[in-house]
Structure 1
């Protein structure tokens, strides 16, 4: 898994293969990309009164969603809120495990 940010000439390469909880449903591979798509069509301007129209960047790895954002104004908090809303929209109200969100 890799991602690049041309604006700052950065490349992020994930070389890990973590093994953790194995109880995620096998069909999550269908819903995970839908959640990521919903996240990536939003920006701070679409979820708040911000003028920042740069779409959020996120991807899923197995059954986890990873947000990579610049720490500008409240962009990080808005990205987390957009991810939570996307998860609720696709999977329903019992989908969010608060222990999986970093603080």
Structure 2
């Protein structure tokens, strides 16, 4: 699957998430409890697994991924990815070779 960056401004991306994200009804599922409430590792993993399942069918998944890659969140599940996974994805993308414009297929 190929997902390119959107041309939406950051504010418009946030609006799209607020209006159409599957997680908008239960944001704590994706962010976890309050920072001052301890969450056992097993409970956190179970919560994150459920959050990933919600993300799988989300109508604004691509916008969520774009937003998360731009803002670099410090916690939570974004587009089904943890903060650690998002960091690795950004690192992997930076290591991809640039594709020259002349190498792109010509429009028919």
TM-score (norm 2): 0.35
Could you say which structure has the higher helix fraction? Answer: 2
Greater Rg by CA: 2
Higher relative contact order (CA 8 A, sep 6+): 2
TM-score (norm 1): 0.37
Could you say which structure has the higher strand fraction? Answer: 1
